[in-house]
A and B are shown apart, each in its own frame.
Chain A
């Protein structure tokens, strides 16, 4: 079952702008992760935020987590054309062996 719902489904911006993607989920989590997928390729892990954390940074990425609202956001600052990809959130419910439930993803297009 798909727990994560991502918003927007598609986002189109100009290079240099910031991109914000949102993810909502339904059940309690151990951690929430964000992945990137370039067209026709496998997913690449970007960042993980644990349930007791509220914000995390990695380079141009900023992730927030609000467990009371069961939502997370991914902010990419100063976007580049190379950031064009699909972005997925995935929740780890803390049960079996690191099993993840993925959202349906946001397609980000960054125009040069």
Chain B
């Protein structure tokens, strides 16, 4: 069974902390994506990666960075967490065939 896993289901951090969200996929997919989901705003793309060490900004990259050192792993980094980054974070992956994205279960991050 194909799988995308995220390191935490729930996370509580303090303002100013550096936060790492990890995502791992076991499908040998080239493309990986980070979204945030907020009520009334739907899913918004933060960053995506199409190959190891390659990344591109999505619609709302400000305040975030990413790292992809291995094909299966894509990390989202909040350099200095702020309260407006409280959200549900969803990771997804897809292959070259463009037949849809596979999502992880999500990480609900609260920044106090």
* Residues of chain A having any CB pair with chain B under 8 Å: 1-2, 30-31, 33, 35, 40-45, 48, 88, 92, 96-105
Task: Name the A residues within 8 Å of B108 (CB-CB).
Answer: 40
Q: Using C-beta atoms within 8 Å of the partner chain, give the interface range for chain B.
A: 20 to 34
Least CB distance from B3 to A in Å reads 11
How close is B11's CB to chain A, nearest CB, in angstroms?
14
Would B42 and A104 count as touching, CB distance under 8 A?
A: yes
B101 at the interface (CB under 8 A from A): yes
A43-B90, A98-B94 given; A88·B106 CB < 8 A: no
Secondary structure of the B contact surface, majority rule: strand
Instruction: Tell me the complex Cα distance, A43–B33, Å.
Output: 13
User: Total number of A-B contacts with CB less than 8 angstroms?
Assistant: 62
Contact B45 A99 (CB under 8 A): yes
- Of the A-B pairs whose beta carbons lie under 8 Å apart in the complex, a sample of 5, sorted by A's number, is A35-B103, A42-B92, A92-B98, A102-B43, A104-B40
A2-B41, A31-B98, A43-B101 are known contacts; what are 16 more A-B pairs with Cβ within 8 Å?
A: A2-B44, A33-B100, A35-B103, A40-B88, A40-B108, A42-B105, A43-B90, A44-B103, A88-B43, A96-B56, A97-B94, A99-B33, A99-B48, A100-B101, A102-B35, A105-B42
In the complex, whether B64 has a CB less than 8 A from a CB of chain A is no
Chain B residues, Cβ within 8 Å of A97: 30-31, 48, 50, 56, 94
Residue of B at shortest CB range from A43?
B103
| B35 nearest CB across to chain A (Å) | 8
The answer to whether A98 touches B42 (Cβ under 8 A) is no
B-side contacts of A35, CB under 8 Å: 103
Q: Give the CA-CA distance A98 to B31 in the complex, in Å.
A: 8
